[in-house]
Amino acid sequence: MDRIDIKRIVTEAYDKSKDLSAQGKDIAAEKIKDKIRDIAYKNAIERCKQEKVNPDDLSADEMGVIVNEEEKKIKDKIKNRSFSAILAFLGLESLFG
């Protein structure tokens, strides 16, 4: 008679669910990065227009630098808003203005 190895079955199921969870986390992180990158690119184009620079005249490296700067601005805004939200949640926003 075959014996069912419950421990092995549970362990395999746990490992599979852990892997799927990690994949989902990676997918979500990639989607967020892609969205930030898209917004940064649009902001970079707008910045070029404001500075009266044709984005097509810039090299890929020059445009990459501008997009990276815009990405940093977006990430900094997210961090600042997150910090403000935490302070508000804790009732400490009046201490920091």
Q: pLDDT tens across 1-57, in order?
A: 456 777 778 888 888 887 777 777 777 778 888 999 999 999 999 999 999 999 999
Backbone dihedral region for residue 70 (phi beyond 0: left; psi -120 to 50: alpha; all else: beta): alpha
What is the 3-class SS of 17-34, one letter each residue? HHHHHHHHHHHHHHHHHH
Q: pLDDT tens across 76-88, in order?
A: 998 888 888 887 7
pLDDT in the model for residue 10: 82
**59 has pLDDT over 50:** yes
Domain range annotation of the chain: 6-96
pTM of the model: 0.65
pLDDT in the model for residue 57: 92
